[in-house]
């Protein structure tokens, strides 16, 4: 993840989200997820394979977790 963030910054891009999946558990921030959440400016997306559900979270600098709304939009039609 650190390498991807460095590459994005070097290319002048803003990192807006980080995602991973939980194969057998609900889409919630685990203690390990919270510990590793070092950027309070991004949305952390977790997809639960077991529940087929996506949730988004923000983690503040003091490690307070808050759920955020995630809206998945259909791709734009090509012409």
Tell me the C-alpha distance between 8 and 66, whole Å: 25
Tell me the C-alpha distance between 71 and 36, whole Å: 24
Closest CA to 43 of 56, 61, 34, 31: 56
pLDDT tier for residue 51 given thresholds of 50, 70 and 90: very high
User: What's the mean pLDDT when you consider all of the chain?
Assistant: 92
Q: First-to-last CA distance in the chain?
A: 35
pLDDT tier for residue 79 given thresholds of 50, 70 and 90: low
Tell me the C-alpha distance between 24 and 45, whole Å: 16
Q: 21: which strand partners?
A: 47
pLDDT at 17: 92
Q: Are 15 and 5 in contact (CB under 8 A)?
A: yes
């Amino acid at each position: 993840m650190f390498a991807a963030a460095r590459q994005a910054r070097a290319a002048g891009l803003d990192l807006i989200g980080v995602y991973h999946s939980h194969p057998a558990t609900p889409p919630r921030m685990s203690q390990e997820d919270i510990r590793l959440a070092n950027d309070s400016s991004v949305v952390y997306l977790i997809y639960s394979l077991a529940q087929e559900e996506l949730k988004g979270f923000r983690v503040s600098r003091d490690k307070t977790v808050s759920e955020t709304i995630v809206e998945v939009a259909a791709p734009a039609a090509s012409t």
